[in-house]
Structure 1
Amino acid sequence: MPDWVEAGYAEYTKRLSHEINVNLIEIKPEKRVGGKPVEQLLQAEAQRIRSVLPPNCHIVVLDERGQQWTTVQFADVINTWMTTGEAIAFVIGGADGLHGDIKRIAHELMALSKLTLPHGLVRVLLAEQIYRAVSINKNHPYHRA
């Protein structure tokens, strides 16, 4: 990832470290060798994603066709998810997206925007929105409605 992605993500996860545990697990994209079809590449990535998901976690897949919430609604949703005590796994696809199997096992499809966004930018935006949601739920002054 470019330095600006690392810096942006680090800033928000540092702020979150006082409130919740955040773990980033990066899956290397499948190499495009020998003209492998995209479906085959995505299937291999899907297997690696499934292998690192925490057991019994709440899976949220980022997809431009997913549910969109306002920031305050997202804070409510995060609060509901957190009350179950399960880990929440946000899954961001690569350049070719995600295999349908990953979308099918998701509990939620979530969109930060209807625009197609690069996955590095999504990482930063998602970290900021999680931080903002947790801040709202903890009555911190970060969010100004």
Structure 2
Amino acid sequence: MLIQIIGVGKLKEKYLVLGIQEYAKRLAPYVKFQVLEVPDEKAPDSLSEAEVAQVKGREGERILALIKESAHVIALDIGGKLWSSEELAAEIDRLGTYGTSHVVFVIGGSHGLADDVVRRAQQRLSFGRMTLPHQLMRLVLVEQVYRAVKINRGEPYHK
């Protein structure tokens, strides 16, 4: 199975880059794994709703350009379903069992995801009502994907 995470913006913080690299290395024996980045849209701090929609729209176009037609897309969205680690593991296992070979998780930028990206997603996943920086969310998601793989294999890691 190929699992991709598409995120908006380039990671600059070394600790996040190193953390993601560590989990990607741990995932390598089990799945094909990639983190893809699309450039974030440069914009002033204070934007009107229409300007925010334009920013999200341009970022969304870049995201959609990277998603293959056959991919199963899971958008990270505050309005999405709350899953436990075990439920994420079960969903990844279910997708693989029913022939899905390509799963894409999508994390929006500081303004969130464009409506077109959310519509493209087959599922929406929430990590809770707390607001986290989208860059940090990449590391949290990679760790949860690794945890899910270990759960599905019945190997020690998850407690």
TM norm structure 2:
0.85
Quick check: 1:96 aligned with 2:101?
no
Tell me how many residue pairs correspond in the alignment: 143
Partner of 2:66: 52
For residues 54 and 86 of structure 2, what CA distance do their matches in structure 1 show?
39
Counterpart secondary structure, 1:18:
coil
Letter in 1 for 2:28: S
For residues 106 and 37 of structure 1, what CA distance do their matches in structure 2 show?
23
- How far the C-alpha of 1:47 sits from its partner, in A, is 1.0
Letter in 2 for 1:24: V
Query: Runs in 1 of length 4+ with deviation above 6 angstroms?
Result: none
The unaligned stretches of length 5 or more in structure 1 are none
Partner of 1:76: 90
Partner of 1:85: 100
- How far the C-alpha of 1:82 sits from its partner, in A, is 2.1
What is the correspondence of 1:1-145 to structure 2 with a 5 Å cutoff?
A: 1=11, 2-32=13-43, 37-83=51-97, 84-144=99-159
Partner of 2:5: none
For residues 29 and 23 of structure 2, what CA distance do their matches in structure 1 show?
11
TM norm structure 1:
0.93
Q: Indicate the percent of aligned positions where both proteins have the same amino acid.
A: 35
Aligned-CA RMSD value: 1.4
- How far the C-alpha of 1:89 sits from its partner, in A, is 0.5
Q: What does the per-residue CA deviation read over 1:11-67, in whole Å, with 9 as the maximum and x for residues that have no partner?
A: 11110001001111101011227x781111111111111111123100000011111
Q: Is the 8 A contact 2:75 2:118 kept in 1?
A: yes
